[in-house]
Structure 1
Amino acid sequence: MQEVKSILMVGVGGQGTILASNVLAEGLLKSGYDVKMSEVHGMSQRGGSVNTQIRFGEKVYSPVIEVGAADVIVAFEKMEAVRWLNYLKKDGVVIVNTVEIPPLSVLISKEEYPKNLIEEISKSVKTIAVDADKIAESLGNIKAQNIVLLGVLVKYLGLQGIDWEEVIKNNVPQKFVELNINAFKKGLEIN
């Protein structure tokens, strides 16, 4: 076992943030970790922000991640990475999907989507940028981008010894199992 690790997953409704968090939590539980998880959906069905907080280790007392305490932020969208960056530890890492999902204010031309977000994030913290949407699309379904990002996270944390294929089988519909296992493997290949 190890010290408590705190993972913050953030995205936009419909990106599979909660599914990826559930797969992560189940895999960690099956390996003997104490795991606590909380999730906030908000207006997720309307394209709003979604976040989940997962903490694991030998003994975890709360799922809540304080500002400046996340070991890893997994951002399913670039602007969500910026929105939650203050939750990251000084020596933490951001795993960020390179996709842009414009919020309503951008769609109705009241604001512009900020430029060079990943470059700006990279100036202050360790950043692993992944075009998870493109990888998932190449596998046949863009919705598997969440599991690509999960694979990147698992590799970064050194948790490859868990039977992730079994956990994925337990959490996705049968017809999408092979797609998601392949997406997870592609994520594991990313440095």
Structure 2
Amino acid sequence: MNKNCLLCGVGGQGVVLASKLIAFAAMRQGKSVRTAETIGMAQRGGSVVSHVRIGEEIYSPQIPLKSADLILAFEPAEAVRSLPYLKAGGTVIVSSKAIKPVISTLNGSAYEGKEMLDYLKEKADKVAVLSGEYICRQAGSAKVLNAALLGAAAASGALDISIEEMGRAVKENVKEKYQEMNHKALELGKAAFEQI
């Protein structure tokens, strides 16, 4: 059975690494995987979107609209922007911390993310909001949001990838000095999802 996961966030949040870890874990299960990234202005805080498609009959790396089993969103506005990809009954896992776009900063407009989270809850059937900031503090680094969201994704069952398989992907693809904090973030993300 095919699974589609769309990951979205802004530059510097680890979206591309998270997509590679999902792909690696799926390939370790013997599944075929196709991925594609749109990174545009990522180095300047712009949108980053990564498509991960897992299954047997996948002819394109890009997820068709209304076909994503899971949207893994590192930021609320990016989750809303990606919502057209979510299939009916699909799951959205989103970090609650808003990252103010450059244009909002320049023109002084307010953006807190709450309105985006409210919109997601109104439009999607399954929405899990995680305090990525809190989890990262507990894990000891702001750089492990991607691992926390992967832990939540594993707990959701949306991709048929277990927390142990995600842990193996981290072990084999992340530098040794960062592994402990990433494994802690995986477990904290899993626990946070299970408490929702």
Q: TM-score range by the shorter chain?
A: over 0.9
Q: Which moved more, 1:30-39 or 1:113-122?
A: 113-122
| 2:115 matches 1:116 | yes
Residue deviations 1:31-85, cap 9 Å, x none? Answer: 1111111111111010000010001023322211111111111110011011111
Q: Which residue of 2 aligns with 1:163?
A: 165
| 2:8 matches 1:10 | yes
Alpha-carbon distance, 1:162 to partner:
5.0
**1:27-176 aligned within 5 A:** 27-109=25-107, 111-113=109-111, 115-125=114-124, 126-157=126-157, 158-160=160-162, 162-176=164-178
Structure 1 gap segments, 5+ residues each? none
Matches of 1:178 and 1:69 in 2, distance apart?
A: 34
Matches of 1:67 and 1:50 in 2, distance apart?
A: 17
Structure 2 gap segments, 5+ residues each? none
Matches of 1:161 and 1:73 in 2, distance apart?
A: 18
TM-score, L = length of structure 1: 0.93
Supply the AA of the counterpart residue of 1:109.
Answer: N
Contact persistence 2:76–2:116 (CA under 8 A): yes
Supply the AA of the counterpart residue of 1:62.
Answer: S
Number of residue pairs the alignment of both structures matches: 189
Contact persistence 2:6–2:70 (CA under 8 A): yes
SS in 2 for 1:89: strand
Matches of 2:74 and 2:8 in 1, distance apart?
A: 6
> What's the RMSD between the two structures over aligned residues?
1.5
Contact persistence 1:97–1:129 (CA under 8 A): yes
Matches of 1:141 and 1:8 in 2, distance apart?
A: 24
**1:13-24 aligned within 5 A:** 13-24=11-22
Alpha-carbon distance, 1:146 to partner:
0.8
Matches of 1:89 and 1:77 in 2, distance apart?
A: 20
Alpha-carbon distance, 1:86 to partner:
1.0
Supply the AA of the counterpart residue of 2:136.
Answer: A
SS in 2 for 1:90: strand
Identity %: 36
Supply the AA of the counterpart residue of 1:120.
Answer: Y
Matches of 1:69 and 1:111 in 2, distance apart?
A: 34
Residue deviations 1:71-117, cap 9 Å, x none? Answer: 11111001101111111112111110001100011111253326422
